[in-house]
A and B are shown apart, each in its own frame.
Chain A
Amino acid sequence: MQAKRMNPLRRFFAIRGMGSAMIAFAALIVIYVVFGLREPNVFSPVNIQNLLRSMSKYLIIGIGQSYLLITGNIDLSLGSVVGMSAMISATLMTHGTNPLLAALIALLACLVIGLINGLLVGKAQLPPFIATLGTMFTARGIGYMINGNRNTDAIASGIGKEAGDAFQNFFYYGRTLGVFNTFLVAVVVFIIFFFLLSKTRTGRHIYAIGSNVDAAKLSGVSVFATTTKAYMVSAFCAFVVGLILCAQAGMGNMEAGNMYEMYAVASGVIGGISPLGGTGLLLGTFAGAAVWQTLENGLNMIGAQVGLQRIVIGVIVVFAVLLDVVVRRGTRKRIK
């Protein structure tokens, strides 16, 4: 009575969300090659390096937002938490705090925002759009106030040039084995959360509540705990990106991470993470962040205006979701 086993290739594509992730990768290759043919410098090793570094931020925040999108929620506070992380860690460092301790304190602050999001959405059942809109303003406000409503001085002014350089190199300017550290940080974050999402019980529950919250509840899944974990992941990702921005500038910028919550949605959605919940792979988010940065990079290299870049991103995001909606409608019809 055993059902036939599928061959490996079909099994690979039978993984839910793999189809859209692969479409995003295919789009990535096409976009890259098209730009490369117009502007050979796109293929240059230096450009590839820069591309990998610039996509890293969007990959990390994309991962955080993907966790929420898969649960059927959203985290609008993501970008503000990025800013808060940058401002807290930079302010502490300008006062001479050890970078490690400064980062730890910033992390705790970010996780508190994640926890509050979880309480508001998972426990108080506020609409996630509203709850995280509130924490978005709050976190940005905290970021402003940390250093008295102004950007910080150079972090080197507090912790000294040596430590400042070390911090900046670790997160932005340095390389390991020829690859920018920023990208390596992104890869580590990716691996951790890829594992959490695809291999653990928490990950399974994240998909379950996004797919059918009632079924999950009746199966004994704690919606509150799962939602909160997803918001904590998002806050953690924002924290990491905050450090990267701080390292890049060598100081804390009050507007750091502005709009990043939306960039994060774009990365996820281009990669096939359904904004309606229940499906999507972080592999897709990876492709989505890469597609976006390749586009921006390519358009830059051929000298297109910033305005045009934004329009192209806008069209691609809508197109990706349209694809998702059409595919879903298709499956539903087949079931009937």
Chain B
Amino acid sequence: MGDLIVTMEHIDKSFPGVQALKDVHFELRSGEVMALLGENGAGKSTLMKILSGVYTRDSGSMHIFGQEQGDLTPRQAQALGVAIIHQELNMCRHLSVAENIFLGREQTRLGTLSNREMEQEARRILADLKIDLDPHKVVGELPVSKQQMVEIAKALSTKARVLIMDEPTSSLTSREIDDLFRIIRELKAKGCGIVYISHRLEELKYIVDRVTIMRDGQFVSSMNYADTTMNEIITAMVGREIKEKFPRVESKPGKQVLQVRNLNAGRMVRDVSFDLREGEIVGIAGLMGAGRTETTRAIFGADAKQSGEIILDGKPVVIHGVADAIRAGIVLAPEDRKKDGLCTKLSIRQNIALPNLDMLCNRFGVVHRTKETAMCDTAVDNLMIKTPSVDKDVATLSGGNQQKVVVAKWMARNSRVVMFDEPTRGIDVAAKVEIYHLMNRLKQQGMAVLFVSSEMPEIMGIADRIIVMCDGRITGELPAAQATQEKILTLATRFETKVAAAANQ
């Protein structure tokens, strides 16, 4: 192992309403591959964005190649030799492969772009990486895996000595992963330091030298990969006690309400089948990008599905769009309240009435004001939405109360299945408990409740049954009584083995 090339100490970073990083330490040596591990929201990406100049830290110190660094811009970080491959693809779709690789550092002669030189250079970099791509190709026309390779080529072309890869393999094929691992080994031999963020724990053994584990925005531990085991790593990742109280309500699950059979919708929902019963709460657990949100959206008809059957109360239902699902009694409270769940510039009344206008209007399309008021008042009372009046803008409500309005939209109809996508994200503890009570109430009323959550204690505390997804497939199902965080995480990282070929090297 070489010298320390990156040292970050006492790093704090907060965003409005969240402390993303608290007193975090991080070290990287030359010639090593450091795996940065943690659950969703542990702060891995935030920490690396600080190192690469995308975010600035609130406090703490950062040394790169022994030199103390102030706040960096992406360009300064690049100049220092720090390159990052972002998790979400960051390409200009309209530009060519070569143009993207050299974006921001175009070579010029007398003010004129040296296109030929840049293309040759791009060709050389791609050939080095054994990527079969024409530098002329427009990036937007490439498949996602190839775009990812372009992103990697772009980072490498900066001659970076610190290379950060945030989930680089998530969209690669097994051959491309082999290529990537080969490239990583070569870079390591040249003395580069590589930070490797991945949820695919089974990949680690092929390339990783050390691991750093983070949890809830804090540093947990750092060790040599050889000195630890997968179980130890998983325990360190999840190892928090369940502090919150979860008000569980027991009720006997009744007859089957919803059956989903062999649902396929794009890459993120593959052959998904499960059942929901009356008076039951089912949680869907999984890592980010496991296809949970996509599954709920496909059932709700918000996204197109390729195949599969949805059976409600024993009868197949055809869902071509959201309107079909609502009419059938299947509703969704989406993940991003502000973007998908509410019209934030409208009042509570307008939001609640919106999906129910068919029931509130007379045949000339005029809204029946008294009916509307009655509906909204009932909803506000039932869900205990704290507001002086239904005519207040929803934007003035707290996160928890906004979430209740989202649910209230659906309560006026006799819905059979209520799906929640991350219902407690970004709301405080007290409001969370109210949401749990709300789900329990729906359950007691005999509805089937499905909810997606990234917080394992919450899923284990509220759900009667837990479905675990990974990479678009259901990888397991656990009754709440038998579920442990370790079991869930093991299922949630059960990727299809893409790296078999790499193992043979």
Interface residues of A (CB under 8 A from B): 1-6, 11, 14, 16, 199-201, 203-205, 207-208, 210-212, 214-221, 278-279, 331, 334-336
B140 within 8 A of A: yes
Q: Which of A200, A210, A218 contacts B108 (CB 8 A)?
A: A200
Q: Are B94 and A215 in contact (CB under 8 A)?
A: no
Shortest Cβ distance from residue A170 to the other chain B in the assembled complex, whole angstroms: 29
Q: Which of A3, A6, A212, A335 contacts B90 (CB 8 A)?
A: A212
Q: Are A219 and B103 in contact (CB under 8 A)?
A: yes
Q: Which of B86, B94, B123, B138 contacts A2 (CB 8 A)?
A: B123
**Bound-complex Cα distance A210 to B92 (A):** 9
CB neighbours (8 Å) of B138 from chain A are 14, 16
Q: Are B111 and A200 in contact (CB under 8 A)?
A: yes
Residue of A2, A200, A218 contacting most chain B CB atoms (<10 Å): A218
Question: Which size class do B's interface residues fall under?
Answer: 35 or more
Q: Are B133 and A3 in contact (CB under 8 A)?
A: yes
Q: Are A208 and B92 in contact (CB under 8 A)?
A: yes
Q: Which of the candidate stretches B8-16, B70-78, B344-352, B486-494 sits at the interface with the other chain?
A: B70-78
- Chain A contact residues: over half helix, strand or loop, or mixed? helix
CB neighbours (8 Å) of B137 from chain A are 3
**Bound-complex Cα distance A48 to B131 (A):** 52
Known: A16-B96, A220-B75, A278-B92. 8 other contacts (CB 8 A): A1-B131, A199-B113, A200-B111, A201-B113, A207-B95, A208-B92, A212-B92, A216-B92
**Bound-complex Cα distance A1 to B128 (A):** 9
18 pairs of residues in contact across A and B, judged by CB atoms under 8 Å: A1-B126, A1-B131, A1-B132, A2-B127, A4-B134, A14-B138, A16-B94, A16-B96, A201-B108, A204-B95, A204-B106, A207-B92, A207-B94, A208-B95, A211-B95, A331-B141, A334-B141, A335-B143
Q: Decide: A215 near B103, CB < 8 A? Known: A2-B123, A278-B92, A278-B93.
A: yes
Q: Are B140 and A331 in contact (CB under 8 A)?
A: yes
Q: Are A217 and B74 in contact (CB under 8 A)?
A: yes
Residue of A3, A211, A212, A215 contacting most chain B CB atoms (<10 Å): A215
Q: Are A3 and B132 in contact (CB under 8 A)?
A: yes
Q: Are B54 and A218 in contact (CB under 8 A)?
A: yes
Q: Are B104 and A200 in contact (CB under 8 A)?
A: no
**Bound-complex Cα distance A215 to B99 (A):** 12
CB neighbours (8 Å) of B133 from chain A are 3
**Bound-complex Cα distance A200 to B95 (A):** 14
**Bound-complex Cα distance A270 to B140 (A):** 23
**Bound-complex Cα distance A76 to B433 (A):** 52
**Bound-complex Cα distance A214 to B93 (A):** 12
Q: Are A279 and B94 in contact (CB under 8 A)?
A: yes
CB neighbours (8 Å) of A221 from chain B are 103-104
Shortest Cβ distance from residue B118 to the other chain A in the assembled complex, whole angstroms: 10
Q: Which of B136, B142, B266 contacts A336 (CB 8 A)?
A: B266
Q: Are A200 and B103 in contact (CB under 8 A)?
A: no
**Bound-complex Cα distance A334 to B143 (A):** 9
**Bound-complex Cα distance A214 to B142 (A):** 19
Q: Are B74 and A220 in contact (CB under 8 A)?
A: yes
Q: Give the nearest-CB partner of A14 in chain B.
A: B136
CB neighbours (8 Å) of B73 from chain A are 220
B105 within 8 A of A: yes
Annotate B46-66 by CB proximity to A: 1 below 8 A, 0 otherwise. Answer: 000000001000000000000
Q: Are B90 and A215 in contact (CB under 8 A)?
A: yes
Query: A-B pairs with the 10 shortest C-beta distances?
Result: A220-B75, A219-B104, A3-B134, A211-B92, A220-B104, A278-B94, A215-B90, A211-B94, A219-B103, A201-B106
